[in-house]
Structure 1
Amino acid sequence: MQDSNVMFSTFIETLREDGELFEITTPASPKYELTQLSNKHKGAMLFHNVNGWKVAVNILGTRELLAKALDIPKEEIVHTLSTIEPDGTVRIIDKPREEMIEETDMSKLPILTHYENDGGAYITSGIVISEYDGVENASIHRLMVIDGKKVAARLVEGRHTDNLYQRAKKDNKQLPVAVAIGVDPVILYAACTRVPEGREFHYASAIKGEAVELFRCENGIKVPPCEILLEGYIDKELHNEGGFVDITGTYDNTRLQPVIHITKILHRKNPIYHAILPSSGEHKILMGIPYEPLIYKEAQKYARVKNVILSDGGCCYLHALIQISKRHEHEPEAVIQAAFKAHRSLKHVVVVDDDIDIFSPLDVEYAIATRVQADKDLHIYPNQRGSSLDPSRKTDGTTTKIGIDATCELARKNEYQRITA
């Protein structure tokens, strides 16, 4: 059970006390330099002087760091999260408990420009919280700065924020929003999940075992305690968004996207700005790991699933490794199909026995080398919906998916026994 009012800065201090925070006190520029310095170090980092601001990166950049934030053992993340329902408690207060200082425009913030071909400076960790006609949503969207009062928001079509935006646009109304930067890491994780619309904070509460406290902005949006808060609205204005380096390390498409008009900027005293670096460990962890419990729950319908991970080599998004205790020969294919159903952007799935360590790429490759016959163990699914993040997808957006049954034949299982040291 965790403190329901933990702040972003509290977690940073915990990392420092545990010797898990790499700190840089020399000045660093938000344009390219901070990204270049961060790419040399995989762990959590705190820059003390980025145009006079503190900037934290990679705070959830590994499974170990996420496990610490969620207070769940790394090996139990999937099992634990698959049992948690978004039915926790949210408590509403009228104003933040700490004094918030107002800024005039976003030019004061240490917003990063990551790479030379980026469309501009990007806010990457902001939880965009919106509400329309009594329906709420909270999710992370990358926000490209247009000027001191506007950002272009990448809203994936058909996702919850886009649904609210489309409803408001159809009614010829503005969609009120708030952007919370630097929040409790449990809330940050919850905002990345696929829980039902409006249940993200309830899910965070269920993970924590305590009520999550929210306060009301001037525009009525309810937000968690945060380091920096932007208030505003989305109307019908569109702007080109991109380029932006996504989890594959390649540039995503440039698109016309909705504009958020910023009407108010607030921050805590001595705030820490949080940046999620494109294609970093933190980017991949937050995009990928929320799918693992979904795959686990769906695959459990067809086999005894021991564990699931989206592998680092697959950008924590495109490749799933599933460990099962096989009882019947048909189970691996059923599990493969279940995984593709649970996470539609998956491209390749490998199913292994419970003697294979799915956290070890060497062990998984061993299973493929010694337990796969391509004529019967490869399952190929052409003309499937692909991920826009995969540069090899076909021009029509489709892809060919592959499932690999890397399990032992039950009738010959003795022949697969491995020596132990």
Structure 2
Amino acid sequence: MREFIEMMRQKGRVEDIREPCSTVFDAPKRSKASDRILFFHDLEGHRAVMNLMADRSALAAALGVGERRLVPHLAGAAYAGDVVDAGALADPQPADLSRIPIMKHFPGDAGRYITSGIVFSRAGDMENASIHRMMVLDEKRVAARLVEGRHTHTMLKEALARGEKLPVAVTIGTHPLVTFAACTRVPQGKELAYAAELLGGTLAVRECANGVLVPDAEIVLEGYIGAERAAEGPFVDITGTYDPVRQEPVIEFTHMYCKPDPIYHGILPAGDEHKLLMGAPYEPKIYRAVGEVTGVCDVLLTKGGAGYLHAVVKIRKNTQGDAKNAIMAAFAAHTSLKHVVIVDEDIDIHDPTDVEFAIATRVRGDTDIMVITGVRGSSLDPTRLGDGTNVKVGVDATMVMGKEDEFVRAGWE
């Protein structure tokens, strides 16, 4: 992570904040007001960073590719990087969360939350990595939001059925491509291999005392998830609204490992970094799915759609029905997707005005809008029903094949 920060500093993308700053609302407010990486040198006596990867240019810089080539580049992943065992983690210390500048982000939050922590969990030869928000309960325990049916939740159920606790390690302050890999739905157990691939082919990992493997990080918290549960929430999630209180599993930490003068990484809930990490990993998945039914050019999960609920897909039609097939493929690839707009090659999907132009001039409401009711939606969408179902809408904003001349826009090129 330090190498990435220095690379972005050379690009003029880092703002150093040297005056004292509070973990309660102050740092989150500054994060919201800035589009640059914020490096806090005195966050209640600690160092910390926010907005680490808050826009697509930062992700492109980390990958070393052009910003407009991001999705095709990521869609070509084979999840086949080389994970190298670098031995055991050294110098374990007793776990003490009070040593970390964990923030309280909004007045209605139930408490302080770790928002960037990657939870690595291990059972036999299977290791999973994913980000879960974690509400601090005391110096050694957090309540973690484990979404039902996701891999960490499944691994915990299986461990408890065996009468065991699930060993975990939480890393804070990893290279942003490792964080991105942990946010991506990959073949089971391939998060570390994917991270290695994104980083150029190789990723070194070290073993915690409980057997969990972790990559380089500023802070590592080692522990176990058992049968204990605690109230978690309310907490602001991706839509900027409060997620409800739930009974969630408790992680109890036994040890921690810290670099000298560690740099804490905080992600602002519903901020640009949160939206990018939630949505951008799904773009290559949608790209591949749409590519199975028609020519696909690009995919964007829009910032206005919370980076997660709205997509725009640019296609190259082969038959008149391709746009509707693309709509269905996009919904199948990203089940939390709520609305999707399909556009032609001449539309800039990164320009909301251009997308709106396509809707205004190429959509007939009676023939080009698909409404699908009674389907699974996002648990984060405030309009969901009690059973988790919702309504999805697909918009075919493409030209009618054979009549393209009627849609030509005037210009000088």
TM-score bucket of the superposed structures, by smaller chain = over 0.9
Could you give the per-residue CA deviations for residues 312-350 of structure 1, whole angstroms, max 9, x where no partner exists?
111110011000111211000000000000000000010
Moved runs in structure 1, 4+ residues, more than 3 A? Answer: 99-104
Where does residue 39 of structure 1 map in the other structure?
32
**Equivalent-residue separation in structure 1 for 2:65 and 2:234 (angstroms):** 36
- Quote how far apart the aligned CAs of 1:72 are: 2.0
- Quote how far apart the aligned CAs of 1:387 are: 1.0
- Quote how far apart the aligned CAs of 1:162 are: 0.8
Q: Is the 8 A contact 1:121 1:144 kept in 2?
A: yes
Q: Is the 8 A contact 2:234 2:243 kept in 1?
A: yes
- Quote how far apart the aligned CAs of 1:33 are: 1.1
3-state DSSP of counterpart to 1:202: helix
The percentage of aligned residue pairs carrying the same residue is 45
Which piece of structure 1 moves more, 101-110 or 343-352? Answer: 101-110
- Quote how far apart the aligned CAs of 1:134 are: 2.3
* 1:199-238 to 2 correspondences below 5 Å: 199-238=190-229
Where does residue 335 of structure 1 map in the other structure?
326
Q: CA RMSD in A?
A: 1.2
**In the alignment, which of 164, 168, 174 is matched to residue 159 of structure 2?**
168
- Quote how far apart the aligned CAs of 1:95 are: 2.8
**In the alignment, which of 280, 294, 306 is matched to residue 303 of structure 1?**
294
Q: Is the 8 A contact 1:219 1:231 kept in 2?
A: yes
**Is the aligned partner of 1:387 residue 2:389?**
no
Q: One-letter code of the match for 1:28?
A: C
Q: One-letter code of the match for 1:25?
A: R
- Quote how far apart the aligned CAs of 1:198 are: 1.3
3-state DSSP of counterpart to 1:231: strand
Could you give the per-residue CA deviations for residues 225-282 of structure 1, whole angstroms, max 9, x where no partner exists?
1100100001100001111111100011211110000101221001110011100110
3-state DSSP of counterpart to 2:281: helix
Could you give the per-residue CA deviations for residues 26-66 of structure 1, whole angstroms, max 9, x where no partner exists?
11110111111221112211111011111100110000111
Where does residue 53 of structure 1 map in the other structure?
46
Where does residue 5 of structure 1 map in the other structure?
none
Could you give the per-residue CA deviations for residues 174-225 of structure 1, whole angstroms, max 9, x where no partner exists?
1110001101111111111101221111011122223100001111111101
**Is the aligned partner of 1:419 residue 2:410?**
yes
Say how many residue pairs are matched.
Answer: 412
Q: One-letter code of the match for 1:63?
A: R
3-state DSSP of counterpart to 1:365: helix
**Is the aligned partner of 1:27 residue 2:20?**
yes
Structure 1 residues not aligned, in runs of 5+: 1-7
Structure 2 residues not aligned, in runs of 5+: none
3-state DSSP of counterpart to 2:297: strand
Where does residue 109 of structure 1 map in the other structure?
100
Where does residue 122 of structure 2 map in the other structure?
131
TM-score normalized by the length of structure 2: 0.98
Q: Is the 8 A contact 2:399 2:407 kept in 1?
A: yes
Could you give the per-residue CA deviations for residues 100-125 of structure 1, whole angstroms, max 9, x where no partner exists?
57365111210001011111100111
3-state DSSP of counterpart to 2:23: coil
Q: Is the 8 A contact 2:37 2:52 kept in 1?
A: yes
**Equivalent-residue separation in structure 1 for 2:275 and 2:177 (angstroms):** 16
Which piece of structure 1 moves more, 208-217 or 228-237? Answer: 208-217
**In the alignment, which of 182, 188, 193 is matched to residue 184 of structure 2?**
193
**Equivalent-residue separation in structure 2 for 1:100 and 1:269 (angstroms):** 11
**Equivalent-residue separation in structure 1 for 2:306 and 2:389 (angstroms):** 19
Where does residue 58 of structure 2 map in the other structure?
65
| Residues 104/90 of structure 1: CA separation in 2 closer, same or farther (3 Å cut) | closer
